[in-house]
């Protein structure tokens, strides 16, 4: 399904969320309005490494970031593998891969760096400078 967040379209795989489209959209609107920092939805994680990374990402509180290296260290893997798994996240925004940043820059985001920056600003997170 397509969701609109901060005037940007974002594709999420709603089949991985145990809620109807109206509920998901409502939670996104509440997030945008600052009424919630988590989505409180039951999620079906992919099997394997991508699911492990998504679970780690979901534990990063709103207003905070972690680097790809920090997540990689916690999972005993390489930062590039974490970045690739973030890119495979089928439910961005809901599982907040925007909170995972490079050591000295924002770096990639499926919804585009402008949306990543906007989401982090909305949450009050420190944003690394662009190279």
Looking at the annotation, which residues are catalytic?
A: 97
**CA–CA gap between residue 12 and residue 91 (Å, rounded):** 5
Instruction: Return the ∠ at Cα 29 (arms to 25 and 34), rounded to 5°.
Output: 145
**CA–CA gap between residue 40 and residue 27 (Å, rounded):** 9
- Paired tokens of 127: 């944003």
């Amino acid at each position: 399904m397509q969701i609109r967040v901060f005037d940007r379209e974002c594709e999420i795989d709603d089949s991985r969320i145990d809620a109807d489209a109206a509920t998901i959209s409502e939670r996104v609107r509440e997030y945008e309005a600052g009424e919630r920092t988590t989505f409180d939805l039951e999620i079906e994680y992919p099997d394997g490494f991508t699911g492990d990374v998504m679970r780690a990402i979901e534990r990063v509180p709103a207003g905070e970031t972690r680097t790809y290296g920090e997540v990689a260290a916690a999972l005993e893997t390489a930062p590039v593998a974490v970045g690739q798994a973030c890119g495979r996240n089928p439910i961005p925004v809901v599982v907040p891969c925007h909170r995972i940043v490079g050591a000295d820059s924002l770096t990639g985001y499926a919804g585009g760096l402008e949306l990543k920056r906007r989401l982090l600003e909305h949450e009050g997170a420190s944003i690394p400078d662009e190279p």
